[in-house]
Structure 1
Amino acid sequence: MEESSYSDVLQLRRGRRPCCRRGTQVVLLGLVTATLWAGLLTLLLLWHRDTVQGLRQLEDIAARNVSRVSKDVERHKGDQMAQQSQVAQALQSMEEIQAEQKRMEIQDSELSRNLDGLLEDLSNFKSQGLNERRTALDSLERLQEEVAKLWIELRVSNGSVCNTCPEQWVSFQRKCYYFGEGAKRWFQARQACRRLRGRLVSIHSQEEQDFLAKHSNKKGSWIGLRDLDREGEFVWMDQSPLDYSNWRPGEPNNGAQGEDCVMLLGSGQWNDAFCGSYLDGWVCDQLATC
Structure 2
Amino acid sequence: MVYYNYSSGSSQGSDKVCQNSLPVFDEDKGWKYSNSRIYHVSTEKMTWDEGRKACKEKEADLVIINSREEQILVTGLTKNQNAWIGLTDGDSEGVWKWVDDSALTTGFWRSGEPNSYAGDEDCVVTGYGSDPVNNWADYPCSDRFIWVCERPFDSGYQPPKGDT
Gaps of 5+ in 1: 1-158
Between the aligned partners of 2:103 and 2:11, the Cα distance in structure 1 is 25
Give 1:261's aligned residue.
123
Alignment of 1:97-108 (within 5 A): none
Note if 1:271 corresponds to 2:130. Answer: no
Between the aligned partners of 1:256 and 1:176, the Cα distance in structure 2 is 33
Give 1:162 deviation, angstroms: 6.9
SS in 2 for 1:256: coil
1:95-146: per-residue Cα shift (whole Å, max 9, x none)? xxxxxxxxxxxxxxxxxxxxxxxxxxxxxxxxxxxxxxxxxxxxxxxxxxxx
Gaps of 5+ in 2: 1-7, 13-22, 156-164
Structure with more contact order per residue of length (Cα contacts < 8 Å, sep ≥ 6)? 2
Determine if contact 1:190/1:200 at 8 Å carries over to the other structure: yes
Between the aligned partners of 2:9 and 2:106, the Cα distance in structure 1 is 29
Between the aligned partners of 1:289 and 1:183, the Cα distance in structure 2 is 27
Alignment of 1:19-30 (within 5 A): none
Give 1:255 deviation, angstroms: 1.5
Determine if contact 2:118/2:139 at 8 Å carries over to the other structure: no
Between the aligned partners of 1:226 and 1:166, the Cα distance in structure 2 is 28
Give 1:221 deviation, angstroms: 0.5
Between the aligned partners of 2:48 and 2:95, the Cα distance in structure 1 is 17
Structure with more helix by fraction: 1
Q: 1:285 aligns with which of 138, 150, 153?
A: 150
Give 2:25's aligned residue.
166
Structure with more strand by fraction: 2
The TM-score, its normalising length taken from structure 1, stands at 0.42
Between the aligned partners of 1:254 and 1:172, the Cα distance in structure 2 is 33
SS in 1 for 2:122: strand
Cα RMSD for the two superposed structures: 2.0
Between the aligned partners of 1:246 and 1:196, the Cα distance in structure 2 is 26
Kindly name which structure, 1 or 2, has the bigger radius of gyration based on alpha carbons: 1
Determine if contact 2:88/2:122 at 8 Å carries over to the other structure: yes
Between the aligned partners of 1:222 and 1:199, the Cα distance in structure 2 is 11
Identity %: 33
Q: 2:66 aligns with which of 197, 204, 209?
A: 204
Letter in 2 for 1:284: C
Between the aligned partners of 2:114 and 2:11, the Cα distance in structure 1 is 36
Alignment of 1:86-101 (within 5 A): none
Give 1:217 deviation, angstroms: 4.4
Letter in 2 for 1:173: N
The TM-score, its normalising length taken from structure 2, stands at 0.73
Give 1:165 deviation, angstroms: 4.6
SS in 1 for 2:118: helix
